[in-house]
Structure 1
Amino acid sequence: MEKAVSEVKVASIFIYPVKSCRGISVSQAHVTPTGFRWDRQWLVVNYKGRAYTQRVEPKLALVEVQLPNEAFLENWEPTESSYLVLKAPGMDLLKISLSTPQEIADGVSVWEWSGAALDEGADASKWFSDYLGKPSRLVRFNAASETRPVDTEYAPGHQIMFSDMYPYMLLSQGSLDAINELLKEPIPVNRFRPNILVNGCEPFSEDLWTDIRIDKLTFQGVKLCSRCKVYFGQHLVWRDSVTGGVKGNVVKVGDLVYVLKMVSSANEAAA
């Protein structure tokens, strides 16, 4: 039975095309089994093919990312003049064609996964090498040949690209406000890198949600997001993708959020 949790709505949607670089706030996003379209599709790697993260290379947090506005429409496909555009302090613009690259980079690894990826070429390599001051490359997930399963204990049958852990992460404004009340310096939402920010619910309500519906799309809450010594946010998978999906797979800012199932306490939540 659906439970309307007061008036919970999608407040913001965030996509992070290049893992560990800045995100994009968008008014709507196309839902896919591996996450929002364009989310964590690119990755910056070192000379061994190992992923860089902000923990190791904090300068990545200053890399701004742009995509064409129409890239977030459901049926849009890139043309020869469609680009991913990157900006960073002291650097010229880097334009990456959204057409599929032809070069293959073998031996790419991110956390526990390794495989082949698409190499975005010499210009992108030089740009990131110059910016970070060490040999680097930009690669793109090769969905045509590679798969990266999530933890089968929590979400069997689901996959991701270069995201950490799961396809989606949801956080509430109430939880963010509650955390900031405890801190001398408020922390903005981008520090936590959620995909979906909702408002209209009590702090940490999302910890209890195991099945939700956003507009007509259903998601399963599979695991609390672990952050060093605390849990903050809920990992989601798109449930319709396993059952065949529905048409119109778009989540929009302002969409109502309905809780279909929930646990009674945080102690019962998967963590």
Structure 2
Amino acid sequence: MKIKYLLFLAPLLLCGCNTTERETLPQTAEATADTRETTSDEAPFTGTMDEIGDEELSPADPVQSLNITPSDYFTPGVWTSLNTDDTGNFYIFDQDGLHGKMIPMADADGIDFTYSIDGSTMTMYVGEEFTPYNAELERTDEGHVIIHMTFLGTQDELTFLSDVSAGDFTFYPAARLAKMAENYYKAQTGKDLAGVEYLISENDMVVLNLWVKDENGWRSDVDSYTVSMFTASGWSSITYDDVDLSGYQPEVPTEEVPEDDIPDVVESQIQS
């Protein structure tokens, strides 16, 4: 069953949490209407891999004011979901049974939340105001958890990743993998791409569609990579060759010193 919900939750609940870009399956972008592109003029993501440490799982408490009881409904650790709009999220549930974090697979721009569970009803408290949102929970025979977001009319199916540690959880967001694929292709061929589209597939897999413009300015696909968000490695769906993008990180833009700060630096050097 495909799933969806919390990707839309971020823009509804928090200012500054943006929806993620959505991409297409390997055939072409023209064949799929709900696609967006990661083009070569986007600002690259900084760093190497996004790391989510234990200290980030619990927002600052005034949780006591909520008067909620910890729950053991969710196994502590990392859960994955795939939404029906071909995007996905990682969820981390803390061991205290009160705190969680939703991390979009596209850009890792996540949100913290506090939650309580009463029977099959889950209340999520989001943002500095701890705004409550209710959902109904359903556990499947396979051990998955379906969150029915009653206020959105959507649902999200979560699968527990038993072999992934929440304490040192890292992954390559899909948008960064698109940049890395662009760098990899140029290193292998010496040619620039017009763009790279991504589709978050199953669990941790991302499909990256590489394309250039032909002589008429139309899109022409040149390759398609399927890689893991955990390793940045996979294969080409065109040549079936192995692909490893991990050594092709996008450049980190350097921060320019404001002009107002330069005289202070020079003055301090003269005085010393």
Structure having the higher Rg: 2
More strand by share: 1
Pairwise TM-score range, normalised by the shorter structure: under 0.3
Structure having greater relative contact order (Cα 8 Å, sep ≥ 6): 1
Output the TM-score relative to the length of structure 2. Answer: 0.28
Output the TM-score relative to the length of structure 1. Answer: 0.28
